[in-house]
Structure 1
Amino acid sequence: MTLYSPSPKSELPRERLLAHGAHVLTSPELLAIILRTGMKGCDAVSLGRRLIEQFDGLRGLLSADAHTLMGLPGLGMAKTCELLAINELNRRALEENLKAGQALDQPQRVKHYCTAKLGHLSVEHCIALYLDSQLRLITTEEISRGTLSQTSVYPREIIKSGLKHHAAALILAHNHPSGVAEPSEADLALTRHLKHALALVDIRLLDHLIITGTGAVSLAERGQI
């Protein structure tokens, strides 16, 4: 695919960003700054708009894997790596803030972090967020991959990790790739079992989140913890 250098018109997003701030730019314009160039017959802004439409929004685009991105017209290895890096930097920034002292005592903070980490995945993953006594994030660990009915989540392994990290509490989260955020009976049974097992070693189960690409459901908010 033949690329071409951006014309002065396609450089306008950079000029506007510097003059007025990033918030005044549209999503395609912001994406154009990252892409830098378009392709034959399609400038960077138009390419950005096309990609956003193809993935039904920024979330879908920035959550796509390398194989999918590199198969698209106008995206090669360099642009693909840039898009993947942006998504990973966003997740790391959220995690860094939580480790730096933002207490996980507000459900929205937890939902934002877990959605960024799990919402884009096409296979079900289950993670545990281990917290200290001030409800600050110590670490996040993947504890299973695959639906909870097919891949066992062993409370003893979670307890072992909790004790290793000197955790005072933890939050469980897993995604539903189907997009349906309602907890299953298996989800509720696991929550009850894990809460009881953790209480035996004085670790609190604060919440169990069901994550989709568009949001999250908190079992604690529903009174199901």
Structure 2
Amino acid sequence: MRYHKLKAGSEPGTYVMESALVTEEDILIMAKQLSRKRLNKGRALTSPGDVKEHLRALLQDHPHEVFAILLLDTQHKIIGFHEMFRGTIDSTSVYPREVAKLALEHNAAAVILTHNHPSGEPTPSQADIKLTKVLIESLALIGVRVLDHIVVSSQGCASLAERGEM
């Protein structure tokens, strides 16, 4: 990954290009860098739309399924973003024990679960809904709330909370 084409500008939220020539790949890399930066520790989540936008930039281009978790404190400020499991083109194995272990390790009070659908279709599967319910029950035992499970694809994002499937 290249990090040399974009530098912070003199005004907050502005950037300066090091060179005049910028490829599409450079733009995508910069978008991922910015999304990761916006999911940095201590940032408050401002809206569900912003969260979806950042998660989409980070996960939509993977050729295989990736399950990740956004760890939050008691005020829903970000503790960290972790890609936990990688799978095949249409599935990945998720282990509730490992999710709980990571939440405890970082002292998270809440989490947002996320994974991508490389097929491009963001509609949650029955397996996604079942997994979400298992994780909600598992994490509740240790006092960690699951706020949402967001399915990401190139065509958009689907929130299980917004769909009433949690």
Q: TM-score range by the shorter chain?
A: 0.7 to 0.9
Structure 1 ranges of 4+ moved more than 4 A: 147-150
- Structure 2 length-normalised TM: 0.80
Report the identity percentage: 42
Q: Which amino acid aligns with 1:184?
A: S
Larger radius of gyration: 1
Higher strand share: 2
Matching of residue 222 in structure 1 with residue 163 in structure 2: yes
Other-structure match for 1:87? 28
Q: How does 1:85-124 map to 2 (within 5 A)?
A: 86-99=27-40, 101-104=42-45, 106-124=47-65
Secondary structure of 1:34's aligned partner: coil
Instruction: Provide the aligned C-alpha RMSD in A.
Output: 2.4
C-alpha distance in structure 1 between counterparts of 2:161 and 2:150, whole Å:
8
Number of the residue aligned with 1:136: 77
Give the match for residue 18 of structure 1.
Answer: none
For the 8 Å contact 1:171–1:206, the answer to whether it is kept is: yes
Tell me the TM-score normalised to structure 1 length: 0.60
What displacement does 1:110 show? 1.0
Secondary structure class of the residue paired with 1:224: coil
Shift of 1:108: 0.5
One-letter amino acid matched to 2:146: L
Aligned residues: 150
Contact 1:98 1:136 (8 Å CA) reproduced: no
- How far does the alpha carbon of each residue in 1:25-67 deviate from its partner, in whole angstroms, 9 at most, with x for none? xxxxx9x9324xxxxxxxxxxxx7xxxxxxxxxxxx43xxxxx
| Greater relative CO, 1 or 2 (CA 8 Å, sep 6+) | 2
1:190 corresponds to which residue? 131
Q: Residue 20 of structure 2 aligns with which residue?
A: 33
Question: Unaligned stretches of 5+ in structure 2?
Answer: 1-16
- Using the alignment, how far apart are the partners of 2:130 and 2:156 within structure 1? 22
